[in-house]
Amino acid sequence: MSIIKQNRRGSIIVISGPSGSGKGTIINEILKKNKNCWLSVSTTSRPIRENDIPGVTYNFVTKEEFEKKIQDGYFLEYNNYVGNYYGTPKEFIFSKIQQGIDVILEIEINGAQNIKKLIPEAIFIFIMPPSIEELQQRLRNRGTDSEEKILERFKVAYQEINEVTKYNYVVVNDKLEEAVEKVHSILLAEKCRVDRIEEVFLNNKEETIHEKLVDNKQFDNSK
Ligand code: ADP
Ligand code: 5GP
């Protein structure tokens, strides 16, 4: 029998970072590596991009449908980002963590702050681009946004980078494999936190053995 009993609940992992920093790419790798992770599918009113899969990358709704959902209390958090709504549906999140599954929320900084108020024990990871030049390059290479939207996202990136100190961890996404390894290690380390210990099983006999060892009564070191 194990000496300690640890809390097996899943964690909520909030991942933010400027658009183009590589959040989606890193999360895809984490989901392949860690079968015990689940990515929450957000709802958005932004237009569908070529590489989007409705119901997989996002649930796409109109602005009016989104506002109706806000009124219905459908979201754990939501925010407006460069002119479009984005929100995290409440459903599934708490049942997943009860089942011991880690839930990843890929959300922008204001949404992350709202989650921090609601769930302070969540883990907050910020994905940082290696440089501003590289960020701009990646946004352009991705080819999913108009030049106007790229500049808008780029402007927001400066504000976002200034908020990094509100996170628990920062991972610079220079070499992809290294960044993935770091995020994976953070998730593993979080499972070892002492505040996950619920019970310690040391019976009287074991405590006595321990005392004897400490007092050096059991063994004679001079031999
Ligand atoms: P985000 O989800 O943060 O907006 P993406 O994951 O879509 O960012 O990544 C933006 C672009 O940068 C994509 O074209 C992706 O393939 C590329 N990319 C991601 N990580 C790296 C990396 N470490 N090195 C080079 N290119 C990367
Ligand atoms: P994109 O349009 O590039 O898919 O996402 C734009 C921004 O919205 C990203 O920073 C992404 O993390 C954020 N985002 C995605 N889903 C949500 C959500 O449910 N809530 C909030 N607050 N932000 C989100």
- CA 111–ligand 2 middle distance (angstroms): 9
Tokens of 74: 């459908």
pLDDT of residue 223: 43
pLDDT of residue 186: 97
Instruction: Compute how many other C-beta atoms are within 10 angstroms of the C-beta atom of residue 211.
Output: 11
- CA 25–ligand 1 middle distance (angstroms): 6
pLDDT of residue 135: 93
- CA 69–ligand 1 middle distance (angstroms): 31
Substitution candidate for ligand 1 out of 138, 140, 160, 181 with most atoms within 8 A of CB: 138
Which atom in ligand 1 lies closest to the alpha carbon of residue 176? 23
Domain 41-91 has CATH 3.30.63.10: yes
- CA 58–ligand 2 middle distance (angstroms): 10
pLDDT of residue 98: 95
- CA 108–ligand 2 middle distance (angstroms): 5
In one letter, which amino acid is 133? E
Cβ atoms of 107 and 167 within 8 Å: the answer is no
pLDDT of residue 142: 85
The predicted model scores a pTM of 0.90
Q: Tell me how many degrees the CA angle 89-93-99 measures, rounded to the nearest 5.
A: 160
pLDDT of residue 61: 98
pLDDT of residue 76: 97
Q: Where are the beta strands (DSSP E) in 7-101?
A: 12-16, 37-39, 43-44, 59-60, 75-81, 84-89
Residue by residue, DSSP assigns 168-184 as SEEEE-SSHHHHHHHHH
Provide CB contacts within 8 A for 27, sequence distance 6+.
Answer: 15, 39, 104, 106
Instruction: Compute how many other C-beta atoms are within 10 angstroms of the C-beta atom of residue 119.
Output: 18
76 burial type by CB count under 10 A (0-12 exposed, 13-18 middle, 19+ buried)? buried
Q: What span, in angstroms and rounded, lies between the C-alpha atoms of 111 and 104?
A: 13
Ligand 2, atom 5, lies closest to the CA of 19
pLDDT per residue of the chain (223 residues) written in tens, 0 to 9: 788 999 999 999 999 999 899 999 999 999 999 999 999 999 999 999 888 999 999 999 999 999 999 999 999 999 999 899 999 999 999 999 999 999 999 999 999 999 999 999 999 999 999 999 999 999 899 888 888 888 888 888 988 999 999 999 999 999 999 999 999 999 999 999 999 999 888 776 666 666 776 676 555 554 4
Ligand 2, atom 15, lies closest to the CA of 107
For the chain, domain boundaries: 4-40+101-215, 41-91
Q: Provide the 3-class DSSP secondary structure of residue 13.
A: strand
Parallel/antiparallel/unpaired status of strands 84-89 and 75-81: antiparallel
In one letter, which amino acid is 61? V
In one letter, which amino acid is 134? E
- CA 194–ligand 1 middle distance (angstroms): 34
DSSP 201: -
4-40+101-215 adopts what CATH topology? Rossmann fold (3.40.50)
- CA 8–ligand 2 middle distance (angstroms): 29
Which atom in ligand 1 lies closest to the alpha carbon of residue 106? 2
Q: Which ligand is nearest to the CA of 19?
A: 1
Q: What span, in angstroms and rounded, lies between the C-alpha atoms of 97 and 80?
A: 27
Q: What span, in angstroms and rounded, lies between the C-alpha atoms of 17 and 161?
A: 7
Cβ atoms of 208 and 54 within 8 Å: the answer is no
Ligand 2, atom 2, lies closest to the CA of 46
> What's the gap between Cα 103 and its chain centre?
7
Substitution candidate for ligand 2 out of 49, 50, 106 with most atoms within 8 A of CB: 106
